[in-house]
Amino acid sequence: MIKTCKHCNVEFDTRSTAKRQAGGKINECPSCVEELGTETAVKYLGLSAGDGKASALSIVAFESDEDRSAYSTAWKAVTGFNKGKSCHLSGTNTNIGGRPMRHVTYVGANGNHKGKG
């Protein structure tokens, strides 16, 4: 969809890669969003524990895309994402902490998913 930027009156495509990466409001072009710093969306990351059929889900918010990306990479390295259990064979682990974040929600898994006591 083609829109006109409310700041610079330039036409831009709202579905372009640049607009999706820059964010901002629907009537702001990507260059104005970056130049004026009008993007205010929170960078969320959803994490799922791999503990069987009823795994836990955690949603975490970050202050920047860099923190979100670094945490995601570290989490995948220490949890065996697409590796099975081979990640636990290493003598060292990637540091996953020390990044500014806050937990938005946590939904714990029911370990007793088959109704057995």
Identify residue 17 by its one-letter amino acid code: T
| Per-residue model confidence as pLDDT tens digits over 69-86 | 888 888 877 776 666 655
C-alpha span between 71 and 37 (Å, rounded): 23
C-alpha span between 34 and 103 (Å, rounded): 27
pLDDT at residue 31 above 90?
yes
Tokens 């003598």, residue located: 91
Q: What is the mean pLDDT of the segment spanning 27-56? A: 81
Domain map of the chain by residue range?
A: 2-36, 43-107
- Give the torsion sign (CA, 73, 74, 75, 79): positive
pLDDT at 29: 94
Structure tokens at 72: 């995601």
pLDDT at residue 49 above 80?
no
What is the DSSP secondary structure assignment for residue 99, as one 8-state letter?
S
Closest CA to 71 of 102, 50, 41: 102
| Per-residue model confidence as pLDDT tens digits over 85-116 | 555 555 566 667 777 888 888 887 666 656 55
